[in-house]
């Protein structure tokens, strides 16, 4: 490929980075900052290999940029999540896996796409909505507006928050969960849990804002598909200090948006919820 970012130049820049987090910060153009990204890239190239720098007017190779950014998003995702095949399903989950696989098919998901995730707490640092979501994919305003909001930024709000979490399910809304009040949705999850005959180790949850986000982002990295679809919101279990609850959706450009829901437990036709099964594990 020709242009500012041909593969050899991408590798050249990548060699100067200490870790994927720093590397991904070079790709702010994906979040709507192409000018800043190109400036950073040119500065890096001038320092490392001035003869490779293209004139200001030269069109950069966006395909190479995107391919490199996707590669390192995959690497970064692996710091937080192991995506497991159905064959790797633990015994505790096997009896309910077919139900979640049927849901995945109903949402256009191929059987080869993982719906089992081991979200790790202690390998590096736990995933945080504020800091890690903008590095794993496009987020509205890079979630800068969330930095001063007061809420518990954790993947799991059940059990021991410092343990790994096994999750079965995907980022799609539970069927018929839209147009339901907060309490109606919780009742739906309870009824579904009884139908699945879950033991006390496994729970169905709407998920914290961080859990909803990492399910959406990991699925996008694996498949390129973005959920929730069609402007629908996913109500979460994360509540701000003000008492308002967080909700998650995709913006019109596909970027992830997390916002507060100020109407309490009210129902809206565009507001549903996820319903993954979760189980906390030891390290």
pLDDT of residue 31: 43
The set of residues, in sequence order, having a beta carbon less than 8 Å from that of 16 and lying 6+ positions away, is 44, 48
Which residues make beta-bridge pairs with 166? 118, 279
pLDDT of residue 75: 79
| pTM, rounded to two decimals | 0.81
pLDDT of residue 177: 98
Q: How far is CA 220 from CA 70, 85, 232, 269, in A?
A: 10, 17, 16, 25
pLDDT of residue 125: 62
Give the full edge-to-edge strand order of the sheet including 245-250. Answer: 256-261, 245-250, 233-239, 271-272
pLDDT of residue 5: 43
Given a cut of 70, the residues of the chain with pLDDT beneath it are 1-68, 122-125, 157-161, 282-283
The closest alpha carbon to 155, from 219, 207, 93, 202, belongs to 207
């Amino acid at each position: 490929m020709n242009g500012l970012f041909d593969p050899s130049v991408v590798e050249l820049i990548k060699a100067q980075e200490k870790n994927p987090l720093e590397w991904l910060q070079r790709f702010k153009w994906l979040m709507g900052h192409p000018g800043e990204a190109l400036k950073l890239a040119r500065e890096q190239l001038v320092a490392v290999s001035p003869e490779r720098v293209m004139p200001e007017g030269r069109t950069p190779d966006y395909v190479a940029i995107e391919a490199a950014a996707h590669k390192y998003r995959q690497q970064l995702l692996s710091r937080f999540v192991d995506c497991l095949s159905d064959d790797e399903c633990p015994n505790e989950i096997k009896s309910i896996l077919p139900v979640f696989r049927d849901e995945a098919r109903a949402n256009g998901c191929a059987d080869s796409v993982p719906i089992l995730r081991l979200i790790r707490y202690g390998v590096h640092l736990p995933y945080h909505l504020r800091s890690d979501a903008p590095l794993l994919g496009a987020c509205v305003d890079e979630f800068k507006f969330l930095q001063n909001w007061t809420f518990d930024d954790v993947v799991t709000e059940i059990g021991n928050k410092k343990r790994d979490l096994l999750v079965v399910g995907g980022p799609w809304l539970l069927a018929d969960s839209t147009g339901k009040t907060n309490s109606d949705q919780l009742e739906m999850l309870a009824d579904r849990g009884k139908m699945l005959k879950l033991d006390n180790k496994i729970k169905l949850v709407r998920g914290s804002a961080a859990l909803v986000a990492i399910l959406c982002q990991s699925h996008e990295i694996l498949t390129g598909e973005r959920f929730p679809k069609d402007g629908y919101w996913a109500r979460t279990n994360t509540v701000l200090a003000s008492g308002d609850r967080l909700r998650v959706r995709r913006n019109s450009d596909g970027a992830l948006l997390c916002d507060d829901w100020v109407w309490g437990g009210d129902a809206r036709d565009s507001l549903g919820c996820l319903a993954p099964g979760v189980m906390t594990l030891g390290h």
